[in-house]
Amino acid sequence: MLTLIKEIFTWWNRQTLGTRLYTLFFGKLIGQDNYGNKYYESKSEKRWIIYSDEIDASKIPNEWYSWIHFTNNKIENVHEFEKFDWQKPHQPNLTGTKKAYHPKQNKNAVKNKYKTWKN
């Protein structure tokens, strides 16, 4: 019941009621990525995503990004392609979270690196 109320009144929780109805009547499920996001297409070639958790466009993996933007490439119809050992798994943008990258800085090294022109 709470999910239905969220769909009616909020747009930032996965999908709205209108999107659910449009997907039900006109959407054809094309596939699903490792994050659980579902990708749909209509007969008029409109494409959209139903996110599994919070809505964040940086959660779209590379192979699905090209599909959603109608970019032709060699993996257009193969969404499960082989990755090399050196390739890291896709990560969403982690800026502003606890997992964000913070380089270690030595404060003394920065002070010693520059000299003022006033002596």
pLDDT band at residue 39 using 50, 70 and 90 as cut-offs: very high
User: Quick one: tokens of 115?
Assistant: 């000299």
pLDDT digits (tens, 9 = 90+) for 49-83: 988 877 888 888 877 888 888 886 655 455 556 67
Give pTM, 2 decimals: 0.61
28-32, strands of its sheet edge to edge: 28-32, 38-41, 47-50
